[in-house]
Chain A
């Protein structure tokens, strides 16, 4: 079975630009979470969606937004990019009910110059 997929793998953007990152969860999983990981730190929670509804939001500015589609895939959007947004963006898939095991995709490495 395919795992979590994310696109693109790598991305280079300029300060002030906008970026859209995409994620497809494991088949049968209805929940997607987004995390940001900077070098030397653990992942930091950004959003969680379940059945297209936002179920949680971390301590990130309004420049960050996300949505989930009817097929349970998800997009993370970041506006007005800052140098500090450079990080590995991780998508995690979970069934949405029962336990909270979350399975990560390969991530998107975003570099802001």
Chain B
């Protein structure tokens, strides 16, 4: 079983702080990695993709990938109450074609 693990949370951060969300995966050959945001009762929304080791920044979001450690993270700077949602990590394992393997998600709560 090709696992994607996330801490379910809830992770609580004050407004304006940096939220750090973490994800580990078991398939060392995985090549593509994604972060989705899902509000309660809604469908997942793609917020970041990352394919190479290192950091990728997009606005207040930074994705970090370390393939040697099989670890991918998402940083949210200047967190806002509107960022409160479940964040899903998704991985495309080797040999699975284009199927995405999702973690269970981390619930983030940003308090005013």
Contact = CB atoms under 8 A, between A and B. Distances in A.
Contacts of B88: 42-43
B104 A42 contact: yes
Interface of A: 31, 33, 35, 40-45, 48, 50, 55-56, 58, 88, 90, 92, 94, 99-107
Q: For the complex of A and B, list the 7 residue pairs with the smallest distance between their C-beta atoms, beginning with the closest.
A: A42-B102, A56-B97, A45-B99, A104-B43, A107-B43, A56-B99, A104-B44
Interface in B80-112: 88, 90, 92, 96-105
Contact of A103 (B46, B97, B99, B102): B46
A92 B100 CA distance: 11
Interface in B19-34: 32, 34
Contact of B92 (A41, A42, A100): A100
A100 B46 contact: no
B96 A40 contact: no
B99 A43 contact: no
Nearest to B101: A45
A104 B46 CA distance: 8
Given A45-B99, A56-B99, A94-B98, A101 B51 contact: no
A40 B88 CA distance: 11
A100 B98 contact: yes
Given A42-B103, A42-B105, A104 B98 contact: no
A102 B43 contact: no
A104 B104 contact: no
B89 to A, nearest CB: 8
Interface in B31-57: 32, 34, 36, 42-46, 49, 51
Given A42-B105, A90-B43, A107-B43, A102 B97 contact: no
A31 B102 contact: no
Contacts of A105: 43
